[in-house]
Structure 1
Amino acid sequence: MNNATAIRNGDPREAATAHTAHTPYLRSSFQARQITRSFLSTLSPRPSPEVTESVLLVVSELVTNALRHANGVTGFHLGAAHRTVTVEVEDSSSAFPRERLPGSFDEAENGGFGWPIVRHLANDLTVRPTRNNGKIIQARLPL
């Protein structure tokens, strides 16, 4: 983890301390939650227990999906600035997340339940392709 000065909108009067954590590979959602808990504990003021649980749930869902459906995590980044925490999970699959339709519980289908949770908790959610045919999912949550 490190601290850096971030200048939003190019205006030095809006400078704020930005906290970041980054790791290239994760082997489990447990490991991602540990990193996230540690990261959130460095913030001042500390996030409420409700915010902490929301961030941990988003991290867990995104990392689990990358591990289960996308051949693993190839990048994991956390950032915090201006009352927002950003979670980024990168994987090597070009397939975008999908959502199951309500009432669609065919046991032959695999997945689709966590994405609505992530969509509900995140204020801003983007999925963008990477140069190596993978993707980065970025979720921003209020602190």
Structure 2
Amino acid sequence: MRKRGKATQPLSPVPHNAAAARDMVTRLLNSRFCGMHGESLADVVVADALLVTSELVTNAFRHGGGLTEFTAEITDEGLLVVVGDTSTRTPLVPDNDATEPPRIGGYGWPLVRRLADKVTITLHARGKHITALVPLA
């Protein structure tokens, strides 16, 4: 990935749902890549970035007690998304135990881990932050 200089400013408002978070990331990506000397991101890269954003925000609402923080910024390494929630429980990695009956759902977290170059979970007194770095090249 080519160096782009100084990172863009993080987005500050906390979106009220996953669709609003995707809209924020779409505007960020468009403002940075569309129209600049013919540059644009491949559709699959945008889809991956939006999918990671959507899964993290949806999980914060569904499993984390609500979304408390959301930032997205473009760095030299890619799209950096940070999602905060009020739970200190970390996401579960589904077992591939064939003796257990199949369960519905549980695909989001493995998908985030697959699409992001780096995923970290930081616990703190008021909950946790999940940070995902999605490559843009």
TM-score normalised to structure 1 length: 0.79
Tell me which residue corresponds to 2:131.
Answer: 138
- Paired AA for residue 132 in structure 2: A
8 Å contact from structure 1 (residues 20, 77) kept in 2: no
In structure 2, stretches of 5+ residues that fail to align are 34-38
In structure 1, stretches of 5+ residues that fail to align are 1-13
Q: Work out the CA distance in 2 between the residues paired with 1:23 and 1:64.
A: 18
Moved more, 23-32 or 63-72: 23-32
Pairing 1:20–2:20 present? no
Q: Give the percent of matched residue pairs that are identical in Structure 1 and Structure 2.
A: 33
Shift in Å, 1:116: 0.5
Shift in Å, 1:131: 3.4
- Paired AA for residue 18 in structure 1: A
| Runs of 4 or more above 3 Å deviation | none
8 Å contact from structure 2 (residues 77, 133) kept in 1: no
Which has the higher relative contact order, 1 or 2, with Cα contacts under 8 A spaced 6 or more apart? Answer: 2
1:91-143 deviation per Cα after TM superposition (whole angstroms, max 9, x unaligned) = 01000011222355246xxx5221110000010110001232x0000000111
Pairing 1:90–2:84 present? yes
Structure having the higher strand fraction is: 1
Q: Work out the CA distance in 1 between the residues paired with 2:63 and 2:112.
A: 16
**Correspondent of 1:112 among 106, 112, 115:** 106
